[in-house]
Amino acid sequence: MNFFIQRSELRDIYDKVVAGERISDADALRLFETKDLNALGAIADFVRAKKNGNRASFIINRYINYSNYCILSCEFCSFSRKKRDADGFELTIPQIVEKAREALKLGITELHIVGGLHPSLPFSHYVEMLKALKTLDARLQLKCFTAIEILHLAWLAKKSVVETLAELKAAGLDSLTGGGAEIFRKEVRSAIAKGKESAEEYLDVHRQWHQLGGRSTCTMLYGHVESLADRVDHLRQLRALQDETHGFTALIPLAYQPENNDIPVTTPPTGYDSLRTIAVSRIYLDNFPHITAYWIGLGMKLAQVALSYGADDIHGTIIEEHIFHMAGATSPQLQTEADMIKAIRETGRTPVQRNTFYEPIKILPDINQAGGEAPENLAHSKVLEDNLATA
Ligand code: SF4
C-alpha cells in the first residue's frame, strides 16, 4: 500500500475504492475538504492505473470558433460579443474549410468547433458547414457544438432536439463537445450564466445524443462562486447520466479564468485546487473511462503533474484557442505533438495519440524500446501518413 494512504485519514475511502465499492457524495465532499493531497492523489492514481494502465493520451486537433457573436450575455463569459462590438468576428464556411485544410497538413484527426449563439445565421448554415468539412476529408472527426448551441439550432430549425441532432449527425457531426455544463446547481448557474440552459436541459441534450448512438465529453467549470458541495452535486448528476447512457468518454474539469467578465473573483483556481478537483473527479466518477487535464486552463506544467493525480489525458494540440485566452489564460495557443509526447514521457507514462473517442490511433513506445522515437524526430507529416494508412 502507498505510504501516504497508510497513514491517512482517507484510509477508509481507499479501502472502499480497492474493494470496487462506489464512494458516496459524503465521501466525495471529504475528499474535496482534505488537506492530505498526497493521499488523495495516491487514491486517484490507483483508480487511473486500474482503468488505463500506464498509458496517457493526447489528440492532434484544431479548434475553430466560427463566431463569437452571441444573443446571450453570460456573466462569466469573456468570449461573446454583440454585432456592435469592434472585436466581434464571424468566419464564412470557405474560411473554416481553409483553416481545416491547413490543419490537416499538421496531422489533425479532429476539429473542435464551437461558437456563440449567432443572432442571424440559419440552421442550414451549420448543416452546410459540417457537410463541407466532411467533403474536405471524410476521416476528419467533427466534435462540435455545446448543449446550448444545440438548443439554439433546434429553435432555429423549428425541430425537436432529437430531430436536430439526427440531422446534424447525418451531415457529419461525430461528437458533441462538453462545454457549457458550468456548475449545475440552479443558484450558481443563475449567478454566473443567467439565461443559459438549465442543468436538466444540458443533461437532456447529451442524453438524447447518447441515445442516438453518439458520444460526448462533459465538463465542470470550477473555482468561481461555487462551493465544494456544489462540485459534488455536479459530479453526482454526471455520474447518474453516465449510469443511464454510458455515452460520456471523459470529464474535462475546466479551471475558471477570471479576466474580462462580471464575476467577482479575481484569481484563477490554485494548483492545489485543480489537482484535488481532478483527483476527486477520478475517484468519484467510477463509470467514466477518462479524465482529461485541460492544459489550456492549467498550463502544461500542471497538466503534466495531474497525470499523477487521476488524469490520463492531456487533451490536444488545439492550434488556436480564443475562449480561455480572452478570459486571461496565459498558456500558449498551441502545443506541438513533440511537446505533448515529451510531457507524457517525463511522467513515466506511455504516450498514446488518440482519436475523438479516446481510442488509440498510435502508441508511442518508450524511446529506448524498438520503434521508440525522440519527440524531435516525430514530424507531423509522418503522423498524418500513419493516420491515413491506418484509417
Ligand atoms: S457562454 Fe456561450 S452562451 Fe453564454 S454568452 Fe458566452 S458564448 Fe454566449
Q: How far is the CA of 152 from the centre of ligand 1 (A)?
A: 11
Query: Which pLDDT belongs to residue 384?
Result: 42
Residue range 343-366: mean pLDDT, rounded: 95
Query: Side chain identity at 318, as an amino acid letter?
Result: I
From atom 7 of ligand 1, which residue's Cα is the shortest distance away? 116
Q: For 183-228, what is each residue's pLDDT tens digit?
A: 999 999 999 999 899 999 999 999 999 999 999 999 999 999 999 9
- Euclidean distance between CA atoms 17 and 148, whole angstroms: 35
Q: What is the mean pLDDT of the chain?
A: 93
| Buried/exposed code over 81-103 (b: 16+ C-beta within 10 A; e: otherwise) | beeeeeeeebbebeebbebbeeb
Long-range contacts of 15-21 (CB under 8 A, 24+ apart): 17/43, 17/46, 17/47, 17/283, 18/46
Are 268 and 223 within 8 A, CB to CB?
yes
- Euclidean distance between CA atoms 261 and 257, whole angstroms: 9
Which cell numbers hold the place of 267? 484569481
Q: For 135-145, what is each residue's pLDDT tens digit?
A: 999 999 999 99
- Please indicate whether residue 251 or residue 1 has the higher confidence score (pLDDT): 251
- Euclidean distance between CA atoms 110 and 370, whole angstroms: 29
- Euclidean distance between CA atoms 314 and 291, whole angstroms: 9
Task: Check pocket membership of 117 for ligand 1, CB cut-off 6 A.
Answer: yes
Q: For 12-43, what is each residue's pLDDT tens digit?
A: 999 999 999 999 999 999 999 999 999 999 99
- Euclidean distance between CA atoms 177 and 252, whole angstroms: 10
Q: How far is the CA of 294 from the centre of ligand 1 (A)?
A: 20
Q: How far is the CA of 390 from the centre of ligand 1 (A)?
A: 38
Please give the distance of CA 312 from its chain centroid, rounded to a whole number: 12
Structural domains in the chain plus CATH codes: 58-228+245-270+313-333+345-390 (3.20.20.70)
Q: Which atom of ligand 1 is nearest to the CA of 76?
A: 1
Pocket test of ligand 1: the residue of 68, 72, 153 to mutate, having most ligand atoms within 8 Å of its CB, is 72
Q: How far is the CA of 350 from the centre of ligand 1 (A)?
A: 37
Query: Which pLDDT belongs to residue 6?
Result: 85
- Please indicate whether residue 322 or residue 370 has the higher confidence score (pLDDT): 322
pLDDT band at 383 (very low <50, low <70, confident <90, very high): very low
Q: For 152-193, what is each residue's pLDDT tens digit?
A: 999 999 999 999 999 999 999 999 999 999 999 999 999 999
391 pLDDT exceeds 60? no
Query: Which pLDDT belongs to residue 387?
Result: 44
Q: For 92-137, what is each residue's pLDDT tens digit?
A: 999 999 999 999 999 999 999 999 999 999 999 999 999 999 999 9
DSSP E strand stretches across the chain: 55-59, 61-65, 110-114, 141-144, 175-176, 215-222, 248-255, 290-291, 313-316, 350-354, 360-363
Q: Which atom of ligand 1 is nearest to the CA of 77?
A: 6
Query: Which pLDDT belongs to residue 336?
Result: 92
Query: Which pLDDT belongs to residue 366?
Result: 74
Pocket test of ligand 1: the residue of 117, 192, 202 to mutate, having most ligand atoms within 8 Å of its CB, is 117
Which cell numbers hold the place of 69? 457573436
Query: Which pLDDT belongs to residue 90?
Result: 97
From atom 2 of ligand 1, which residue's Cα is the shortest distance away? 116
Task: Check pocket membership of 148 for ligand 1, CB cut-off 6 A.
Answer: yes
Q: How far is the CA of 55 from the centre of ligand 1 (A)?
A: 35
Which cell numbers hold the place of 295? 492544459
372 pLDDT exceeds 90? no
Q: Which atom of ligand 1 is nearest to the CA of 70?
A: 8
Task: Check pocket membership of 196 for ligand 1, CB cut-off 6 A.
Answer: yes
Q: Which residues contact 91 (CB under 8 A, 6 or more apart)?
A: 64, 65, 66, 67, 99
320 pLDDT exceeds 50? yes
Q: How far is the CA of 71 from the centre of ligand 1 (A)?
A: 8
Q: How far is the CA of 178 from the centre of ligand 1 (A)?
A: 14
Are 70 and 80 within 8 A, CB to CB?
yes
Q: Which atom of ligand 1 is nearest to the CA of 115?
A: 7
